[in-house]
Every structure is written in C-alpha cells, then in structure tokens.
Amino acid sequence: MEAKINVEYPVIDVFATGKNIERLRKEKGLKVKDIALFMGFLEPQAVYKWQQGKALPSLDNMFALSVLLEVPMEEILVRKSGDSLEKDKHLAA
C-alpha cells in the first residue's frame, strides 16, 4: 500500500516574483543598471524581463541576486496561491 502525499506541487508566480525583485531593488536604492553590472550583463534587458514577469533569473543569477539584495532566495520568489493555480488550469484547458 502506497502512502499518499498531501502536498500541492509548488509553482512560482513569475509576475509577482518580478514585482518583488523590483521592490527589493528599490528598497536597496539600486538601479536596474547596478544589478546588470553586478551580474556582468552587457545590457540590462534581462533584469527588466525579470521585473516585468517575462522571465525568471537562472539559479546562479537568483543566488547572486539574493547576495546583492541581502535576502534569502525564498524571500525573492513568490509562490502561486491555490486560486491562481486553479485559474491557470482553466486557462490551459
């Protein structure tokens, strides 16, 4: 007999995470250009895409971002709530 796991699979809310990155950046008094330079990017487009919820940083970039912003990665990422998960399931169907 198999044991059932009663935990919902966690999904990252890309849009809310982007807004969170923007908020944390502003709280630190940093500009998008500052983050791009810290990351070694030639252009700031990737940072703008993160903030707009169009993309997530890679794991390495997320770790570097957490060091720069002085917060754990868990404070940067926003988990989708049950309501938004249900809406996404209906949109995908």
Q: What is the pLDDT of residues 32-41, one digit of tens each?
A: 999 999 999 9
Average pLDDT over residues 45-68: 98
Q: How confident is the model at residue 81 (pLDDT cuts 50, 70, 90)?
A: confident
Q: How confident is the model at residue 8 (pLDDT cuts 50, 70, 90)?
A: confident
Q: Is 0.85 topped by the overall pTM?
A: no
How far apart are the C-alpha atoms of 59 and 65, rounded to whole Å?
10
Q: How many helices (H) and strands (E) does the chain have?
A: 6, 0
Q: 67, 33, 28, 66: which is closest to 48 by C-alpha?
A: 33
Overall CATH class of domain 14-92:
mainly alpha
What are the CA-CA distances from residue 26 to residues 8, 35, 83, 93 (Å)?
A: 32, 11, 29, 38
The yes-or-no verdict on residue 84 having pLDDT over 70 is no
Q: Could you state, in order of their start, the residue ranges of all structural domains in the chain?
A: 14-92
